[in-house]
Amino acid sequence: MRPSSPRTSNQACKDNADCHLDATTAQCEPGIVPDDGFRMRFSGPTCHCGPSDHRCHLRWFDPVPCSSDNDCWLDEQPTLHAIRRPARLKGRKFRGCVDGEQVPVCKAGRCTLEGLTC
C-alpha cells in the first residue's frame, strides 16, 4: 500500500475530515466510508486534504522508534503526525491543551499521539 509516487484524488475536499483511505485501492477519496482501522493514523498510510488544491492526498509516515515520551514530538504539516523530538526541544514538556489537543507519547516503542478533551 505504500505509495511509490504521489496519489491525489480527482474529487474535491473541504478539509481533512472529508478524506478517507480506501484500503482496497490504496487511494484517499472524499465520500467513502472509512475503515475504522484507518480512520486516524499517526504513522503508515494517512490522508489529508491539500490546502491549495483541495484534493485528498495519500501520505506515508514511517513509525518513529522511542524509549520514552521525551523522544516524541508532533508535526502538523502536511497533516498531524508523530516525529522524533527535535534537539532544540529536548527537555521541554509538552503542555496538553496549551500546546495542543494531541499529546506526543511513546507507546510500545513507537511515538504516537493521544487526544485530549480540552
pLDDT one-digit tens code per residue, 29-76: 998 876 655 555 567 888 889 999 999 999 888 999 999 999 999 998
**What integer is the mean pLDDT of 88-98?**
90
CB contact at 8 A, 68 and 26:
no
Domain ranges of the chain: 7-61, 69-115
pLDDT digits (tens, 9 = 90+) for 5-35: 788 999 999 998 898 888 788 888 998 876 6
**Mean pLDDT (whole number) for 76-84:** 87
Helix (H) or strand (E) segment spanning residue 30? strand 27-30
User: Rounded to 5 degrees, what are φ and ψ at 54?
Assistant: 50, 45
Q: How confident is the model at residue 77 (pLDDT cuts 50, 70, 90)?
A: confident
81 neighbors 43 (Cβ within 8 angstroms): yes
